[in-house]
Amino acid sequence: MTHEDTVMSMKQLAEINSNMPPEAKYGEVFEVIADKQAEISFKAGFKYALEGAVIEGGYQSVKKAGIREVVKWIEANYPIGTSKWQAQLKVWDIK
């Protein structure tokens, strides 16, 4: 897996930004971008984990490891910190 598999392009970012209403606050725009980025990242991470599970035989542990890697990258590059994000981390048993 390469970073191109997990990172939103500048074109996608610009499209999201241009589709937001003019009165949207920075946090609202950021939340939409974070949701879209998470969708891209988690799909790539899940695919990577699934491929590893087929090879390694431990689907659940590999899936969790894949999610953990994606979460680590997102937090390093796009710290979210919303209560919605924190709740999802608990669902995944990440934090």
Segment 40-78, tens digit of pLDDT: 777 777 777 677 656 665 677 777 877 888 888 888 888
pTM tops 0.85: no
Distance CA 16, CA 1 (A): 25
Long-range contacts of 62-65 (CB under 8 A, 24+ apart): 64/92, 64/93
Instruction: Calculate what percentage of the chain has a pLDDT beyond 70.
Output: 81
> What is the DSSP annotation of 11-41?
HHHHHHHHHS-TT--HHHHHHHHHHHHHHHH
